[in-house]
Amino acid sequence: MTKISIDEMASFCKKKGFIFQNSEIYGGMAGFFDYGPAGSEMKKNIKDYWWKYHVQDREDVVGIDGAIITHPKVWVASGHVSSFQDIMLECRKCKFQERADTFIEDKLDIAADGLKAKDLNKLVSENELVCPKCKSEFKEAQDFNLMFETQVGPKQDSESKAYLRPETAQLMFTNFKLAQEAARMKLPFGIAQMGRAFRNEISPRNFLFRCREFEQMEIEYFIHPDKVKECPYIKEVADYEIIVYSEDMQKNKKEAAKMKIKQALDKDIIKTGWHAYWLAVEHKWFVDLGVNPDNLRIRQHLSDEKSHYALDTWDLEYNFPFGWKELQGMANRTDFDLNQHIKHSDQKLTMYDQKQKKHIIPYVVAEPSLGVDRSFLVFMFDAYEHDKERGNIVLKLDSKIAPIKAAVFPLATKLEDEAREVFDLIKKEFPCKFDRSGSVGRRYARADEKGIPFCITYDFDSREDKKVTIRNRDTTKQIRVAIRDLKDILEKLLKGEKLEKFGKIIQ
Which C-beta is closer to Zn ion: that of 139 or that of 254?
A: 139
Query: Pattern 460-489, binding to Zn ion, x per CB under 5 A?
Result: ------------------------------
| Backbone φ, ψ for residue 476 (5° rounding) | 60, 10
- Give the separation between CA 155 and CA 304, rounded to whole angstroms: 44
HSE value, Cβ hemisphere, 13 Å, CA-based, for 21? 16
Q: Which of 134, 182, 183, 302 binds Zn ion (CB under 5 A)?
A: 134
Binding status of residue 386 toward Zn ion by CB under 5 A: no
- Count of residues that interact with Zn ion, criterion CB under 5 A: 8
By CB under 5 A, residue 96 contacts Zn ion: yes
Indicate the residue among 77 and 129 with the shorter CB distance to Zn ion: 129
Q: Are 120 and 100 in contact (CB under 8 A)?
A: yes
State the Cα torsion 37-373-211-157 to the nearest 10°. 90
Q: Closer to Zn ion at the Cβ: 134 or 412?
A: 134
Contact 244, 298 (CB under 8 A): yes
Stretch that binds Zn ion, among 13-21, 29-37, 96-104, 395-403 (CB under 5 A): 96-104
**Which runs of consecutive H residues, i.e. helices, occur in 52-200?**
72-77, 80-83, 100-108, 117-126, 169-174, 176-182
- Can you give the three-state secondary structure of 463-483, one letter per residue? HHHCEEEEEECCCCCEEEEEH
Q: Would you say 97 or 472 has its CB closer to Zn ion?
A: 97
Q: Which stretch binds Zn ion (CB under 5 A): 47-55, 95-103, 163-171, 227-235?
A: 95-103
Among the residue ranges 39-47, 130-138, 193-201, 278-286, the one whose residues contact Zn ion (CB under 5 A): 130-138
Q: Interface with Zn ion by CB under 5 A: which range of 16-24, 85-93, 243-251, 427-435?
A: 85-93
Give 141 or 191: the residue with its C-beta nearer to Zn ion.
Answer: 141
Count how many Cα atoms sit within 13 Å of the Cα of residue 250 in the half-sphere of its side chain: 13
Binds Zn ion (CB under 5 A): choice among 13, 88, 91, 383: 91
Name the one range near Zn ion by CB under 5 A: 3-11, 55-63, 129-137, 197-205.
129-137
- Residue 88 binds Zn ion (CB under 5 A): no
For Zn ion, the closer CB: 134 or 183: 134
- As a whole number of angstroms, the longest Cα–Cα distance in the chain is 82
Task: Please identify, using beta-carbon distances, which residue of 134 and 182 lies nearer to Zn ion.
Answer: 134
Q: How far apart are CA 62 and CA 142, in angstroms?
A: 41
**In the set 133, 139, 258, 344, which binds Zn ion (CB under 5 A)?**
133
- Strand pairing of 296-300 and 313-320? antiparallel
Residue 214 CB, nearest distance to Zn ion (Å)?
29
Beta carbon nearer to Zn ion, 8 or 106: 106
Instruction: Determine the interface stretch with Zn ion among 97-105, 125-133, 401-409, 435-443 (rule: CB under 5 A).
Output: 125-133
CB-based burial of residue 241 (10 Å sphere; 0-12 exposed, 13-18 middle, 19+ buried)?
A: middle
Closest CA to 42 of 381, 451, 423: 451
Element (H, E) at 345: helix 336-345
* Residue range at the interface with Zn ion (CB under 5 A); choices 56-64, 86-94, 140-148, 434-442: 86-94
By the rule CB under 5 A, 139 interacts with Zn ion: no
Which span (33-41, 124-132, 146-154, 483-491) binds Zn ion, by CB under 5 A? 124-132
Tell me which DSSP letter residue 27 carries: T
Cβ atoms of 322 and 87 closer than 8 Å:
no
| CA distance linking residue 197 with residue 204, whole number of Å | 15
According to CB under 5 A, which one of 69, 94, 182, 506 is a site residue for Zn ion?
94
Residue 58 phi/psi, 5-degree rounding, is: -120, 145
User: What type of residue is 208?
Assistant: L
Under the criterion CB under 5 A, does residue 30 sit at the interface with Zn ion? no
Pick the stretch among 133-141, 202-210, 302-310, 420-428 that binds Zn ion (CB under 5 A): 133-141
* Nearest residue (CB) to Zn ion, 141 versus 499: 141
Helical residues (DSSP H) of 141-193, grouped into ranges: 169-174, 176-182
Question: Which value, to the nearest 10 degrees, does the dihedral of the CA atoms of residues 149, 81, 308, 339 take?
Answer: -110
Asked whether position 490 contacts Zn ion by CB under 5 A, the answer is: no
Among 131, 289, 372, 380, binds Zn ion (CB under 5 A): 131
- Whichever of 124 and 219 has its CB closer to Zn ion, that residue is 124
Of residues 135 and 414, the one with the C-beta less far from Zn ion: 135
Residue 149 sits at φ, ψ, to 5 deg, of -95, 150
Contact pick of 11, 82, 136, 151 for Zn ion (by CB under 5 A): 136
Strand, coil or helix: 49: helix
**87/327 with CB nearer Zn ion:** 87
Residue 130 found at the interface with Zn ion (CB under 5 A): no
Binding site for Zn ion (CB under 5 A): 91, 93-94, 96, 131, 133-134, 136
